[in-house]
Structure 1
């Protein structure tokens, strides 16, 4: 689970962001800070993986907190969620090392897309750290696409097979990263709120990409059923 700290001075908006995040698999809100003092205290206590950061606060500039996070919490990433639209602010935030920048008002579909994109980036980064700890050009390209753009190879609808929707694909992708045991298409469909045939179509897509492995399970009655398990947990 990716541990998230929300830093937002408007309590109502902070609550909306929390509820949005709870709908996206793979994330957990560990705290909400409404001013600079709380933000620094929460950072010290939780050392979160990700901070969702507003830029406007009565007692601080969000860009100053961004700089503080980058210098003191090197493993904490930042996604800015703000009403600021000035190009210089956006440029300064990018130079400051943000993973992404979301303009208010926040629509859930856009929020979800950004979070799933970040989840893919973080998962790839963790997998590389746990393996050799080294990267080649392809891995660097994939990390950069995941970190700064929604136009990555998996995110570009033009490159997806017919019948594969990008948002649904991202949901299934996040789901399979959390898989700890083999599952059937029926189980996935029930847990994700889609039909069995839809679940199977996406599961087979990930089999073709090498992220899932499929086999046949023989029960006590009826025909054998195709089961899927994540190859990301092997070894």
Structure 2
């Protein structure tokens, strides 16, 4: 079980987060802390694997506790759950090494997706040898390991390595893109790039819209499905 510590000054919100955690297998809430003293004490006692951390407290800022965790509890991961939307705050949290950042109000489906990604992340770093290949490094840096489509389910003409290369690119970019963008990224022909993109549309990973360029020619624009 992954041990989870909830650090949230609003006890009602903390209880909601606890119920959310308890709905997801593989996670166990070991404590709830509502201030700086309780947080540091429970970090020492429970040695949690994951801290769900708010940022606003009467006696501290959550980023200060994040720094404390990075210095004193290096094997503890942190997911921020906060109403703070300021870009500078998000950047500082990312630079501080947070695994993820969830903006309140929290919807269970979003929460569950983030937690399942974290569980997959833990499995990825705990399995096998202490050496990794490039694919595992890419997943660790992304911090969002994805369930892979079984190779046996891939249709003829869809290569596993090429598909994973395209999927990795999609995970790194939230912008809309065209067939030409993929051609440049993976060094393929338009026909090959289109085949893979249409496959991803068919399995629900992408959606496609038609756009008309400056000369009025229709062009398919692809976007990831959130």
Match of 2:48 in 1: 48
Once residues 126 and 136 of structure 2 are traced to their aligned partners in structure 1, the CA distance between those partners, rounded to angstroms, is 12
- How is 1:1-235 mapped onto 2 (pairs within 5 angstroms)? 1-127=1-127, 131-145=128-142, 147=143, 149=144, 153-154=146-147
Once residues 78 and 154 of structure 2 are traced to their aligned partners in structure 1, the CA distance between those partners, rounded to angstroms, is 32
Structure 2: 5+ residue runs without aligned partners? 156-226
Contact 2:117 2:146 in 1 (8 A): no
Which structure is larger by alpha-carbon Rg, 1 or 2? 2
TM-aligned CA deviation for residue 142 of structure 1: 1.8
Secondary structure in 1 matching 2:111: helix
Shift in alpha-carbon separation, 1:138–1:68, aligned structure 2, 3 A:
same
Once residues 135 and 70 of structure 1 are traced to their aligned partners in structure 2, the CA distance between those partners, rounded to angstroms, is 23
Between the two proteins, the alignment pairs up a number of residues equal to: 152
* Cα deviations by residue, 1:122-151 (Å, 9 ceiling, x for unpaired): 111111xxx321112111012223x1x4xx
* Cα deviations by residue, 1:67-99 (Å, 9 ceiling, x for unpaired): 000111010000000000000000000000000
* Cα deviations by residue, 1:105-134 (Å, 9 ceiling, x for unpaired): 00000000000000000111111xxx3211
Match of 1:195 in 2: none
Secondary structure in 2 matching 1:57: coil
Shift in alpha-carbon separation, 1:20–1:143, aligned structure 2, 3 A:
same
Once residues 97 and 3 of structure 2 are traced to their aligned partners in structure 1, the CA distance between those partners, rounded to angstroms, is 19
Structure 1: 5+ residue runs without aligned partners? 163-235
Moved over 2 A (4+): 152-156
TM-aligned CA deviation for residue 154 of structure 1: 2.9
Tell me the TM-score normalised to structure 1 length.
Answer: 0.62
TM-aligned CA deviation for residue 161 of structure 1: 7.5
Once residues 50 and 148 of structure 2 are traced to their aligned partners in structure 1, the CA distance between those partners, rounded to angstroms, is 21
Tell me the TM-score normalised to structure 2 length.
Answer: 0.64
